Structures are given as structure tokens and as C-alpha cells.
Chain A
Amino acid sequence: MKNLFLLFALSFASPSVFAATQLNGAGATFPFPLYSKWFDEYRKVKPEVTVNYNSIGSGGGIKALLEGTVDFGASDAPMNEEEMKKSKSPVVHVPTVLGADVISYNLPEVTKRLRLSGDVIADIYLGKITKWNDPRIVAMNKGVTMPDKDILVAYRSDGSGTTYIFTDYLSKVSAEWKEKVGTGKSVSWPVGIAGKGNEGVAGLIKQSEGSLGYVELIYAASNKLTYADIKNKAGEFVSATPETVTASAAGALKSMPSDFRVSITNAEGKKSYPISSFTYLLVPSTLAKEHGKEIVDLLHWVISPSAQKMAGPLEYAPLPSGLVSKVKAKVGSIKVE
């Protein structure tokens, strides 16, 4: 009985044995399933540190970081110049994993996986290709009978990193898209109807035959949506998988700027899936003494092999090994004073 009481008392006391540190982060929803797994596992590596992550959206994460209410932010799109200017000290972008958008569609009569190219997708979203049996779609899908159906275009109504990546890709592959619509988390869409969130777009696609829309790879994979193979810069048709998404980061390695604030859509390389992107953790380049070392340690762990190998099973693409060393050097340059 006495022992039992002691055990009980100890179970309350044990956290205070270590000098408990709590790190607070907020931002992107896209990497949330992985981050919550990571930060949970991190307690086994460093029991004295708890990491608290709020998935409030990339924009919210950037705002929280700028206001100094969190220790780190998280965003799918890199911060733009306007946002960088608002920050007191330069913000370091640490790529953690990669994600991708897939082009999902609903054509019950087509059983073979569809093939699409960037310029065709752009013209569909510009309203210039309106039929599934358009000669340009038929030409890249030899042996598939394309139905004589209207294409119903679906897009995201809420501002999102998913939309940013997709419009960034279209701007790279279509000059007309770049000029008429451009890149952004919300844009003015020439045609189509919108659903809120991945689930909203997926819902529209599921219910309407002949529809087409973009959703996150992770969402599409876990909900068993059908999605097209996309023609990459090297001219190959590639399926979206963690491997091909990682390959696109490897393909972009040569032209990688030192701050990693770069779009890797339409990347070089035969295996690269073209609608891929980084997701980042954001920290100030100079950290306060309090918690500073803990934050740097966490960032080092996140890009370490033991953390990166947890990405694949959850359909996230790990960083290519060539990039990890560069990111490591960047994290090492963060000052703690």
C-alpha cells in the first residue's frame, strides 16, 4: 500500500525531475499528421522537451512567428518578400519533407490511368480545352477511348498551399496562365467550381462524372482517388509517389539557392514528379538563449535519418540525401545568444 502510494506520488513528480521545456509551434496543416508523429517520437529522444504544434494554416503560422507568439512557424509556401520585410531578424527556412498535388478525375469508363501534360492541364483550367476527347488529350492517351464529355473543372475555394503549388506549376508551364492568372494561395479562376478543402474538391470530383481537380497526394492516396500521370520536364510520364517527389527535389538541387526559398515544381530529372514542393519549419536566424539550443537540436533531429524515414509510410516524401547536408549546415548557422 505504501509502495503504491509512493508510485502514485512519483508519477506526478516525475516530469519535474527534468527541467521541462515546452516548444510551441504553429502553421501548415499539410504536414500535421507527420509532425504530430515526429514530436511524439521526439519525447523518446529528449524526454525533457515537449513540442506543441498547432495546425492553424501556413498563413497563421507565418503571422504567429512574426508576432513572436511561437518558437517556430511552419509553412508550405516560402515567405514572400512582403512578409520577410516584416520580420525583425531574417527567417531561416528549414525544409522538412516534400508533398505533391495530384490531378484527380472521375471517368468511370476509363480504366487505364490517364496521362496529362502541364500545358494541357493549364488549357483545361483556362477553359480552352473543354472536352475529354479533345485531340490533345487523346494524343497522349493512345489505346484509351476518351468519352465525349464536358470537363468539369474543380478547384479549392479556401486559400491554401495546395493551390499555391498548383498555380506555381501552371505558371511555369504556360505563359498564358502566368499572364492571365498567375501564382497565389487564392487566384481568380477562369472556369470551374470550388470546394472547401481537399475534402470539398474530392467530394465534387467523386459526385460528378467528367470532373477533374487537384488535391494533395496524401489526401488522394489515403482516400483511394484516381489520379493522372503527369509529363515532367524531361518528357516522361510520372506517377506521384514519395520516391518521384523526392526525385524532384534532387532534380532541383543544382539550382538550389542557399535559403531554400524556392519552388521545385517542373523540376529537372527523368523520375521527377513535376507538381512537388517543400514544406518548411520557420525560425528566426538569431534565437534567444532560452529554448534556443532546444530548437536547434529539434531541427537537427527532424532532418536526421531516423526522423526522415518516418515520412514514407505516411506518404510524405523524405528529403534527398544530397540536400540534407546543405540543410544541416544551414541549421548549424543559426545563432543562439
Chain B
Amino acid sequence: MEQLLALPIVRSFLPQGRKEIHLGDRLFYLSLKSLSVLIILSLCALVYLLWGMATPAFAKFGWGFFTTSTWNPVTEAFGSLAFIYGTVVSSLLGLLIATPVSIAVALFLNEVAPRPVGTVLGFMVEMLAAIPSVVFGIWGVFSLAPWVRATLQPAIQSYAGWLPIFQGPPYGVGMFTAGIILAIMITPTISSICREVFRTIPFTVREGALALGGTKWEMMKMAILDSSRSGIFGATVLGLGRAFGETMAVTMVIGNRPQISASLFAPAQTMASIIANEYAEASSDMHHSALAAVGLALFLVSLLFNGGARFVLWRTDRKFRSRA
């Protein structure tokens, strides 16, 4: 009871000077607490289960599992480096395309477009997130991939073909196409969070910027973008999380070759897609175990990126505060 009373939030509910707590409050507190613990427990259970399933693979391959990129179910030689590379690069590529677009979309909808237009368009952008990923995948296979092969890749190669990242024969499917699909899929996430962030900035700040003689663009840059930096960063991290886990749409357009290639147009393979492709029909125990280990690797990579992002956010936040 004393412990409970020590919590500021609990005390704030109590009438001035009252020391005892009603049974109802206590039950409410306990139920909330047990629900939050449940979330943490289920996460721990998931990691424990994955770890248990992956142990045979780790025992056999050790650190080599993360540093080699052979994947041969027939000889049971497994290494996940190519998948880690595929997941990270395709997601970052998606993020690179999606972030500027999402910020521009959010600025346009919030600051430029007339309110009714903004509401309707904003609704449509959010509808993008409701489309099942297999639909994106089919569209990717039948529309986007042919366009990349016939139009985009030759165009890029005629200007920047000397760069190793743009070389190679045109397949249509590959890392680049996967990046574009991912960009489209994470744009609604990033742009809707950016809109919420921009909304938190008081109108007086905008008016102040305009009153100082700033143009509309200067107002957006000074009053909105600069002060929302950490919010935008947070939005991109959420987008990245979605890109890491995306399975079906990526599988259908990435070409599914476990290789690390300098070219972005070459086929690749991601962690989520190898699991989706092979888990159902994996016939040996080691194959199952290796796929579970890939799942664990995906979990660790997401954790690493999310943790890293939090750290960066914390650092910049502190810097801003000390400057203020």
C-alpha cells in the first residue's frame, strides 16, 4: 500500500490529505500493471522459444551463422549474412525514398492544401496502409518490376551507369524494386506521424515566423521542420520497423537470391522472406532450426536499430535542451 501511495500518479488521484485508497483504485492499478507485465512476458516467451528452436543451429555454426552467406538446405550449411544485408539495405533504401516524400506530403496536407482537400487526401494516404501487402506484391510483380526493367533502370544507367551500385543486367526484380515497394508501404506511417507532430506546434509560432517577414517556405522550415526534428526522426524509426518486418510484398519482388551484390539492381533476399519461403516445407530439423535462428537474428537487428535510434534521439534532445 505504501509502495502504491509513493507513486505520484496514484497520489494525484487522491483527495487532498487522504492516505487510504479505495479498493476500486487498487484493482484498477493491479489490472493495468498485470496487463503491461503480460506484454513484456509474451515478448520474453517469444525470444525464449526462438532461442530454444535456434540452439541446434547456433551450436553447429556458432558466430559463423552471422558472418557467412552460404545457404544450402541440401548440405545443411547455413549462414544468414546475405539475409541480414538484404533486410537492412532494402529497408534503408525504402526509408531513403519514403522520408522526403512523407515529410513533403505531411507539410502539403497540413500547411499548404485547403482544409477539405487536406482531409480527403490525408484519408487516402492513410488508406494506403490498409492495403494488404500481397496486393502490393502482385502489383510489384506485374506493373512495377516491368517498369523498372524497361524504363527506370536503363534511364538511371544512362546517367549513372558508371557507379557500381547501378550496374548489372535488368531483371526488373531485385533490391531496388523491393526498396520502392517498401517506400510506398511505409509512407503512410511516416507521413501520418509527421502530421501529428506538426500539429503540436502552436499557431502563434507560425504566425510569429510570418510576422518576422518569412515566406511560407521559410515559415515551414524555421517554425515547423526545425522544431519537429526529433519527431520526424521518431516517425522514420517506426517506418523502418515496418520495413524490417515486411514479408510478402518484398518476397514477390526481390528476386530471392541469397547473395551480397554491390549492385542495387541485383536480386537479393531478406530475413523475413527466407522464413516465409522455406519454413512450411523445411524437411530437416537443422533447416528448421536455422530458420528459427534467422527469426532471432531479425529480432536482434530490429532491436539494435530501434535502440540505436532511441540513443540518437536522446542525444539530440539533450543537445537541443542545453542550447536552449
A contact residues vs B (CB 8 Å cutoff): 56-60, 80, 82-83, 150, 152, 157-161, 181-189, 192-196, 200, 203-204, 207-208
Chain B, 155-172, CB within 8 A of any chain A CB = 169, 171-172
Q: Is the CB of B281 within 8 A of A203?
A: no
> How distant is the Cα of A186 from the Cα of B282 in the complex, in angstroms?
8
**Contact partner of A193 among B75, B142, B146, B257, CB < 8 A?**
B257
Complex Cα gap A281–B257 (Å): 33
Q: Are A207 and B278 CB-contacts (below 8 A) given A181-B74, A188-B72, A193-B255?
A: no
Residues in chain B near residue A185, CB distance under 8 A: 73, 281-283
Taking the closest CB of chain A, its distance from the CB of B172, in whole angstroms, is 6
Cβ B149 vs Cβ A207 within 8 A: yes
**CB under 8 Å from chain A, chain B span 252-304:** 252, 255-258, 267, 269, 273, 276-285, 287
Evaluate contact between A58 and B281: CB separation under 8 angstroms.
yes
Contact of B280 among A60, A189, A203 (CB under 8 A): A60
Whether the Cβ atoms of B284 and A59 lie closer than 8 Å is: no
Of A161, A187, A207, the most chain B CB neighbours within 10 A belong to A207
* A-B CB contact pairs (8 Å), 10 listed: A57-B280, A59-B280, A82-B283, A157-B256, A159-B282, A184-B73, A187-B74, A188-B72, A195-B256, A196-B252
Determine if B74 and A57 form an interchain contact, defined as CB atoms under 8 angstroms apart.
no
Q: Which single member of A184, A193, A207 contacts B256 (CB below 8 Å)? A: A193
Evaluate whether A157 and B70 lie within 8 angstroms (CB atoms) in the complex, with A186-B277, A193-B256, A207-B145 already known.
no
CA distance A185 to B279 in the complex (A): 11
Which single residue of chain B is at the shortest CB-CB distance from A181? B74
- Choose one: A80, A82, A189, A203; the contact of B142 (CB below 8 Å): A203
Count the B residues whose beta carbon is within 8 Å of the partner chain — how many?
36
Residues of chain B within 8 A (CB-CB) of A195 are 141, 173, 252, 256
Contacts of A192 in B (CB 8 A): 257
Q: Within 8 Å CB of B267, what residues of A?
A: 193-194
Interface assignment of B251: CB less than 8 Å from any CB of chain A? yes
Cβ contacts under 8 Å, A184 to chain B: 73-74, 283
A188-B141 CB under 8 A given contacts A59-B283, A150-B169, A196-B277: no
Q: Please give the distance in Å from A208's CB to the nearest CB on chain B.
A: 7
| B174 proximity list for chain A (CB < 8 A) | 193
B255, closest chain A residue (CB): A193
Given known contacts A158-B278, A159-B279, A183-B74, what 13 new A-B pairs fall within 8 Å (CB)?
A157-B273, A161-B281, A184-B283, A185-B281, A186-B278, A188-B74, A188-B258, A193-B267, A194-B257, A196-B252, A203-B141, A207-B141, A208-B171
Q: Do the beta carbons of A157 and B71 come within 8 Å of each other?
A: no
Q: Are B74 and A59 in contact (CB under 8 A)?
A: no
Contact A157 B251 (CB under 8 A): yes
**CA of A161 to CA of B283 in the docked complex: distance in angstroms?**
11
CA gap between A185 and B278 in the complex, in Å: 9
Interface residues of A: mostly helix, strand, loop or mixed? loop
Q: How far is the CA of A184 from the CA of B71 in the complex (A)?
A: 13
B32 to chain A, nearest CB (A): 38
Which of A57, A59, A82, A200 is the one whose CB lies under 8 Å from B252? A200
Shortest B68–chain A CB gap in Å is 13
Alpha-carbon distance between A57 and B173 when the two chains are bound, in angstroms: 26
- List the A side residues contacting B173 at CB < 8 Å: 193, 195, 204
> Shortest CB–CB separation between residue B195 and chain A, in angstroms?
35
Residues on B lying within 8 angstroms of A by beta carbon are: 70-75, 141-142, 145-146, 149, 169, 171-174, 251-252, 255-258, 267, 269, 273, 276-285, 287
Contact of B71 among A59, A60, A188 (CB under 8 A): A188
A208 contacts across to B, CB distance below 8 A: 149, 171-172
Identify which of B141, B142, B258, B280 contacts A158 (C-beta below 8 A): B280
- Of chain B, the residue at the smallest CB distance from A79 is B283
Contact B277–A158 (Cβ < 8 Å): yes
Q: Judge whether B172 and A207 touch: CB under 8 Å.
A: yes
**Residue with the highest number of chain A CB atoms closer than 10 Å, among B70, B174, B269, B278:** B278
- Among candidates A158, A182, A193, residue contacting B74 with C-beta atoms closer than 8 Å: A182
User: Which A residues touch B269, using CB under 8 A?
Assistant: 157
Bound-complex Cα distance A161 to B142 (A): 25
- B256 neighbours in A (Cβ, 8 Å): 157, 193-196
Give the distance in Å from the alpha carbon of A80 to the alpha carbon of B267 in the complex: 32
The CA-CA distance from A193 to B256 in the complex, in Å, is 7
Contact B282 A59 (CB under 8 A): yes
Chain B residues near A188 (CB, 8 Å)? 70-75, 258
Among B74, B145, B255, contact of A194 (Cβ-Cβ < 8 Å): B255
CA A58 – CA B267 in complex, angstroms?
A: 27
With both chains docked as a complex, state the minimum distance between the C-beta of B215 and any C-beta of chain A, in angstroms. 47
Contact with B281, one of A83, A159, A193, A196 (Cβ below 8 angstroms) = A159
CB neighbours (8 Å) of B255 from chain A are 193-194
**A86-B284 Cα distance, complex, nearest whole Å:** 12
Compute how far the CA of A136 lies from the CA of B284 in the bound complex, rounded to whole angstroms. 37
* CB–CB B277/A157 < 8 A: yes
Q: A158, B281: Cβ atoms under 8 Å?
A: yes
Partner of A159, one of B75, B146, B252, B278: B278
Q: Which residue of A lies closest to B142 (CB)?
A: A203
Give the chain B neighbours of A157 by CB distance below 8 A. Answer: 251, 256, 269, 273, 277
Contacts of A189 in B (CB 8 A): 257
- Using Cβ atoms and an 8 Å threshold, which residues of chain B touch A60? 280
Residues of B within 8 Å of A159, CB to CB, are 73, 277-283
Query: B281 to chain A: which residues have CB within 8 Å?
Result: 57-59, 158-161, 185-186
- Provide the residues of chain A in CB contact with B278, threshold 8 Å: 158-159, 186
A83 to B281, alpha carbons, bound, how many Å? 12
